[in-house]
Amino acid sequence: MNNSHIRLNRATHEWVIYAPSRRQRPQEFPIASELPSSDAERARCPFCHYHNESILLELMDASGQGWQTRVVPNKYPALSPDVKPLRSLSGIYLELPGYGHHEVVIESPHHDQTLATMPLEAVSTVVETYRQRYLTLMAIPQNLFIIIFRNHGQTAGASLRHPHSQIITTPIVPRHYRWQEDEAQRYFDDWGRCAYCDMLEFELCDRQRLIADNDEFIAFVPYAAEVPCEVMILPKVHSADFGTITPHQVVQFASILKQVLLKLYQKLNNPAYNFAIMTAARYKANEPQLHWSCQIRPRLGTPAGFEMGSGISINPSLPEADAEFLNS
């Protein structure tokens, strides 16, 4: 397929333009590889030398002799739990104090580790850390929305090399996510089925875009991927709420997440990327149209004026070609 064409994302109803004539092979995208860390960098790394007593959660390594993950408050939080999320008017405008939680998950005591190369047991501990903090934070009534995300590499927004991810809670549901919920509801009303369940069933049968699958999860390049080598991970059993993940599923999710990130690490020379665990907002956890997911987007290009002005992505790389490349 060499001509430009436009695809519709079945779950979100967003259009994506594909322009193969602009296509670069994934390995030809400009990737800024980071230099190895220095002794000076490790000496000033706050996660290597964290002495603050405000550790929110600490899980031990397999030996039981040392810690594997720590959750700590973000030193420069976007939001704070010390205020009340009471709405008020400022003239004609609505506002509320910056209530929320902003936490950092330190994923390893080792400065130069990354999820792609960590042992499966260590990645499973990271996922278990996500689960425990998610349940703790969702138990607070003021938290309506929780996002667990990871920025890897400077161009993806990571200010520190030490392996870490973040958790933010908000007292509002972002419009972008509420819109996705509405699209999922519309699909369910039309077809009586979950759009994501339909997608994973088709991808398992079609297999053109499949990256990995195991007993509990599937990973694939979405049919309407917005960026090159984008990958989505879905639980095979319908669930709207990440907090329902079982111990077995923790290991299975860690396994497929590591497998996908290792493919990106090896094929794209450790690219910058973002991933986010997208889960139901409060009061939506048991609804049949919603399905939690993990979305991974390598930073291989830069959105330009058309994307900003139209809200439509132009992807120069076909999902089927990306899947073939990652699987080769």
Question: How is residue 112 annotated by DSSP?
Answer: T
Q: Which residues contact 133 (CB under 8 A, 6 or more apart)?
A: 56, 57, 71, 103, 105, 167
pLDDT digits (tens, 9 = 90+) for 217-269: 999 999 999 999 999 999 999 999 999 999 999 999 999 999 999 999 999 99
Query: CB–CB of 273/296 below 8 Å?
Result: yes
Q: Which residues contact 224 (CB under 8 A, 6 or more apart)?
A: 7, 8, 9, 10, 14, 15, 16, 319
> Beta strand pairing status for 210-213 and 231-235?
unpaired
Span 180-208, mean pLDDT? Answer: 96
DSSP annotation string for 20-87: GGG---GGGS---PPPPPPHHHHHT-TTTT---S---EEEE-TTSSSEEEEEEE-SS-SSBTTS----
Query: CB–CB of 5/303 below 8 Å?
Result: no
- Asked if the model's pLDDT at residue 138 lies above 90, the reply is yes
DSSP annotation string for 264-316: HHHHTTS--EEEEEE-PPTT-TT-TT---EEEEEE--S---HHHHHH--EEES
Span 279-293, mean pLDDT? Answer: 92
- Domain boundaries defined on the chain: 5-27+63-327
* Phi, then psi, of 276 in degrees rounded to 5: -140, 140
- Asked if the model's pLDDT at residue 311 lies above 60, the reply is yes
Q: Which residues contact 316 (CB under 8 A, 6 or more apart)?
A: 18, 19, 20, 22, 23, 24, 228, 301
Task: Tell whether pTM > 0.85.
Answer: yes
Q: What is the pLDDT of residue 280?
A: 93
CA 152 – CA 163 distance, rounded (Å): 8
Span 147-165, mean pLDDT? Answer: 92
Q: What is the pLDDT of residue 37?
A: 66
Where is pLDDT greater, at 190 or 62?
Answer: 190
Q: Which residues contact 280 (CB under 8 A, 6 or more apart)?
A: 181, 240, 241, 287, 290, 292
- Name the CATH superfamily, with its identifier, for domain 5-27+63-327: HIT-like (3.30.428.10)
- Write down the mean pLDDT value for the chain: 90
pLDDT digits (tens, 9 = 90+) for 78-117: 899 998 988 888 888 888 888 999 999 999 999 989 999 9
Q: Sorting pLDDT into bands at 50, 70 and 90, what band is 31?
A: low
Weakest mean pLDDT among 5-9, 148-152, 192-196, 272-276 = 5-9
Angle between helices 195-206 and 175-191 (to 10 degrees): 80
Q: Give the N- to C-terminal CA distance of the chain in Å, as an integer.
A: 20
